[in-house]
Amino acid sequence: MAQPNVVIIGAGPAGVRAAQTLVAAGLRPTVVDEGMRSGGQIYRRQPAGFKRPYQALYGFEAKKARAVHDTFDDLTTAIDYRPETLAWNIAGNTLHLVANNVADTLDFDALILATGATDRLLPVRGWTLPGCFSLGAAQIALKAQACAIGRRVVFLGTGPLLYLISYQYAKAGVDVAAVLDTSPFSGQLRALPLMASRPSLLAKGLYYRAQLMLRRIPVHSGVTPLQIEGESTVSAVRFRGATGGVKTISADAVGMGFHLRSETQLADLALCEFVFDETLSQWAPSADADGRSSIPGVYLAGDGVRILGADAAEITGELAALAALSDFEMPVSAHQVEILRHSRERMERFRRGLAMAFPWPALLARVVEDDVLLCRCEAITAGELRSSANCLGAPELNRSKALVRVGMGRCQGRYCGHAAAEVLAHTRGESLQDAGRLRGQGPVKPLSVNTRTGVR
């Protein structure tokens, strides 16, 4: 066949390695990315004109970040690079793009979705107050804008990012009032053997913790967040500690997050099959060991399919590209694939360790009080969602969405979907799987009515 046309969505570590692999095989892939610059989120680049060195921005990951950025920069002449471009929909083998309100289509022979992730949230009373941001937001503010989200910050949630960001803020001289981890310390100890599969990552985690201790920043484990307090702005965080005592910590900003969730909207619109992962209690698009989805020609890589982190994203990006090449019957080194798969498995083990050490606090989501806002976009309370099941008979999430609007807002369920599933399942006394998942609807992100169909 003539040169197959491969399109990659996302210029983070997965997309970059996929592009590199395809170019090395003699192809000229198209890379579509929403951002202004490559790097995705974890290796987000500061704007032109900013001067901080990589060490300051990425700490231990400086070398990796540099490698990813340099690799992509070196590739730009060998690829068709479309920055600040949103893939807003897909139909069959046609991708629908928009850049600067000009719509365009792109037909592909293979599509590699490397769409990354966002923070995963659950509602806490007061979380819509000005001053409450996601953990990722706190990191972006610091990394890409050289700002702290407030003068005195509480970090709340769970997962390795909680400690990384707290440390980064402390290192930048920001007053970190407390680090509140919903995960009990015992779970973190129990998970050590699994996490030892990636000793350097484990060591970094311990290092961040030690650094917080050295700086006398209170770290509480096993907390139950009660309220983000404030009238029209964050003023404090009230929580119950592991031993039962209630404490209030004054702060003017909160960074909150409970691990990450994959951005799977394009996979959904591409009609990829989704499966429920019992161990993670999450839905994800099904993918084989190399990233082939259930749709021939559509490959999935990076945190956009499984949250395995940046290192795994580089590996799965390469694996997905190799899978595409192999499916085009182009030569691929079986040995290379084996090595990559082996690495990926090691990262899977670590991920299971992380899930054990920092579990998604499902119970906290399930018991969120009726009057707490669950859907930020539409201001729908947990009670309204419960009523969709109790009074209106909704058996699963999409019906709840139709009847009480959860997930109908601008973010299309990104920040309420997980908690909504927990609340609905709990209300109905059913499994999380039976609560279903919000079905993807285009556009992937809001599309301007001023969009014009242009000729590129």
Find the shortest distance in angstroms from Cβ 169 to another protein: 9
Stretch that binds another protein, among 59-67, 322-330, 337-345, 373-381 (CB under 8 A): 373-381
User: Phi/psi of residue 146, each to 5°?
Assistant: 55, 40
Task: Give whichever of 152 and 366 is closer to another protein, judged by the CB atom.
Answer: 152
Near another protein in 79-108, by CB under 8 A: 88-91, 94, 96, 103, 105
CA distances from 49 to 40, 46, 52, 71 (A): 19, 8, 10, 21
Task: Give whichever of 96 and 437 is closer to another protein, judged by the CB atom.
Answer: 96
Task: Please check whether residue 252 is in contact with residue 133, taking contact to mean a CB–CB distance below 8 angstroms.
Answer: no
Among 5, 25, 28, 46, indicate the residue that binds another protein (CB under 8 A).
46
Number of residues that bind another protein (CB under 8 A): 77
| DSSP 3-state of 240 | strand
Among 3, 55, 80, 147, indicate the residue that binds another protein (CB under 8 A).
147
Can residue 338 be called a binding residue for another protein (CB under 8 A)?
Answer: no
Among 172, 210, 289, 363, indicate the residue that binds another protein (CB under 8 A).
172
Task: Give whichever of 25 and 403 is closer to another protein, judged by the CB atom.
Answer: 403
Task: Please check whether residue 169 is in contact with residue 290, taking contact to mean a CB–CB distance below 8 angstroms.
Answer: no
Can residue 395 be called a binding residue for another protein (CB under 8 A)?
Answer: yes
Find the shortest distance in angstroms from Cβ 132 to another protein: 7
CA distances from 143 to 8, 253, 260, 311 (A): 25, 17, 18, 19
Task: Give whichever of 177 and 347 is closer to another protein, judged by the CB atom.
Answer: 177
Stretch that binds another protein, among 142-150, 213-221, 278-286, 332-340 (CB under 8 A): 142-150
Stretch that binds another protein, among 4-12, 25-33, 135-143, 240-248 (CB under 8 A): 135-143
Task: Pull the structure tokens for residue 259.
Answer: 């691990």
What's the alpha-carbon Rg for the chain, to the nearest Å? Answer: 22
Task: Please check whether residue 303 is in contact with residue 260, taking contact to mean a CB–CB distance below 8 angstroms.
Answer: yes
Label the pairing between strands 380-381 and 373-375: antiparallel
Crossing angle of helices 62-75 and 310-327, in 10° steps, is: 30
* CA–CA–CA angle 387, 392, 396 (5° rounding): 85
Find the shortest distance in angstroms from Cβ 95 to another protein: 9
Task: Pull the structure tokens for residue 199.
Answer: 């000793």
What is the 8-class DSSP label of residue 255? E
274 has which bridge partners? 285
CA distances from 267 to 198, 311, 322 (A): 29, 22, 19
Task: Give whichever of 232 and 243 is closer to another protein, judged by the CB atom.
Answer: 232
Can residue 295 be called a binding residue for another protein (CB under 8 A)?
Answer: no
Task: Give whichever of 221 and 388 is closer to another protein, judged by the CB atom.
Answer: 388
Among 273, 410, 431, 456, indicate the residue that binds another protein (CB under 8 A).
410
Find the shortest distance in angstroms from Cβ 119 to another protein: 7
| DSSP 3-state of 104 | strand
Near another protein in 225-264, by CB under 8 A: 232-233, 252-253, 263
Stretch that binds another protein, among 20-28, 143-151, 184-192, 290-298 (CB under 8 A): 143-151
Can residue 280 be called a binding residue for another protein (CB under 8 A)?
Answer: no
Residue listed under structure tokens 């961040």? 208
Residue listed under structure tokens 């890379």? 31
Can residue 174 be called a binding residue for another protein (CB under 8 A)?
Answer: yes
Could you tell me how many residues make up the chain? 456
| DSSP 3-state of 91 | strand
Task: Please check whether residue 158 is in contact with residue 164, taking contact to mean a CB–CB distance below 8 angstroms.
Answer: no
Task: Give whichever of 28 and 376 is closer to another protein, judged by the CB atom.
Answer: 376
Among 412, 432, 436, 438, indicate the residue that binds another protein (CB under 8 A).
412
Among 68, 142, 308, 347, indicate the residue that binds another protein (CB under 8 A).
142
Cis peptide bond prior to 331, omega within 30° of 0: no
Can residue 193 be called a binding residue for another protein (CB under 8 A)?
Answer: no
Among 56, 67, 280, 337, indicate the residue that binds another protein (CB under 8 A).
56
Task: Give whichever of 449 and 455 is closer to another protein, judged by the CB atom.
Answer: 449
